[in-house]
Amino acid sequence: PNVEVKRVDMIDEDFKTGLTSSMAAGIPPDLWFSWGGGILKAQVDAGHVADLTDLLTEPWAKEVVPRSAVAQSTFYDKHYALPLTVWVGHFYVNRELFDKYGLEVPKEPWSWDEFKEAIETFKANGVIPITVGGKEKWELSFYYMYLVDRIGGSEIFRKTINRVAGYTFEDPTFVQAGVRAEELAQIPTDRGRTNNLRLGLLLMT
């Protein structure tokens, strides 16, 4: 009671810019949406975010809020955000194209070789095998981050982005993920060309 909430909607990039400006001016919002990981950590390090550890260690929170979600907003052993959503990445397949080129739709998780075989077949027949929006750098990062997660596990990824001592992006896990992405980019098309996935990955850095 006696609290007025004013909702302000903004698109992603404008929101990031506006939030950074308001914090720099010393007038941050009382409550806001943020991304976990590095963006939130920068806000925490600047002293703009309240410590919610006591709230998120209460019995109801432990029962309702997945610990994996809390991990993305945990820094220095303290919790700084209440998870709102959890995003899941999917690949959707076009069954007609799989049938047309004699490929079996996987019923079990693909191996890397099976995944590459499907991409090779599609590219050899002039079919674009995978698409992703690339206007913003974070859109291109998904493929690479998922490869890192599958190769080295979520723990090494989380510790690296949180700058834990001894963990860097030079770890073999990150290098191997880049090599795997490069493998896909270098598969030739029906015209003998390779695609620009490599350029996209370079633009992320």
Domains of the chain: 12-79 (no CATH), 95-204 (3.40.190.10)
- The amino acid occupying position 126 is G
Amino acid at 156: I
Q: What is the pLDDT of residue 193?
A: 57
Global confidence as pTM: 0.63
Task: Spell out the residues 6+ positions from residue 62 whose beta carbon is closer than 8 angstroms to its own.
Answer: none
Q: Scanning the structure block, which residue is given the tokens 């860097």?
A: 168
DSSP string for 65-92: S-HHHHHTTEETTEE-------------
Residue 190 is predicted with a pLDDT of: 65
Q: What is the pLDDT of residue 173?
A: 93
CA 79/CA 148 separation, integer angstroms = 25
The residues, ordered by sequence, that sit 6+ positions from 152 with a Cβ below 8 Å of its Cβ are: 171, 173, 174, 177
Per-residue model confidence as pLDDT tens digits over 131-179? 777 777 777 787 888 889 889 988 888 788 777 888 998 999 999 999 9
pLDDT of residue 46: 86
pLDDT value at residue 92: 80
Report d(CA 26, CA 126) in Å as an integer. 54
Distance CA 153, CA 156 (A): 6
Cα separation, 79 vs 40, in Å, equals 11
How many angstroms separate the CA atoms of 155 and 187, rounded?
Answer: 31
pLDDT lower than 70: segments of the chain? 1, 190-205
Predicted confidence at residue 101, as pLDDT, reads: 92
Handedness of CA 69, 72, 77, 82 (dihedral sign): negative
The predicted pLDDT at position 199 comes to 35
